[in-house]
Amino acid sequence: MHEMGIALQIIEIATDSIPPDAGDVRVEKINLKIGKLAAVVPDSLRFCFDVAVKDSPLEGAILFIQTLPVVARCRDCDAQWTINGPAFTCENCSGGSLEILSGRELDIESIEIVQKDEHVS
Ligand SMILES: [Zn+2]
């Protein structure tokens, strides 16, 4: 399970993104984009994240995970399509020389930080 390592990286990046003079803030939400080929199980990642953020400024932050499809391009005929199954040959010419355009992403798209006192109720 490599999700814990990923969760720790996300936490490190999110913590670094809090400006030092921001005052009493907390991270409310982290928006992630994860490609299907990144082999990350969103539920596992959320679980590891929740465990790892305990007693940190990120405690309670929501991980919003957007899964990106695998898009391939054929080097022979230039066709582009979304791969849904295990078949890694061109849908157009059946060639096997493919370039993966997207699907390996593991990007932090944005981090939402709020002042703590905005949420006192
Ligand atoms: Zn092709």
Asked if the structure places residue 55 within a domain, the reply is: yes
- Residue 88 covered by a domain: no
In degrees, to the nearest 5, what angle opens at C-alpha 64 toward C-alphas 60 and 70? 150
The pLDDT assigned to 45 comes to 96
- Provide the pLDDT for residue 1: 60
Calculate the average pLDDT of the chain: 90
Structural domain contains residue 90: no
CB 92, CB 57: distance < 8 Å: no
Total structural domains within the chain = 1
C-alpha of residue 105 to centroid of ligand 1, in Å: 24
Q: Which pLDDT score, from 0 to 100, does residue 88 have?
A: 79
Query: Ligand 1 centroid to 5 CA: how many Å?
Result: 37
Q: Has residue 97 been placed in a domain?
A: no
pLDDT at 64 over 90: yes
119 pLDDT more than 80: no
- Cα 118 to ligand 1 centroid, rounded to whole Å: 54
- Residue 45 sits in which domain range? 3-69+102-114
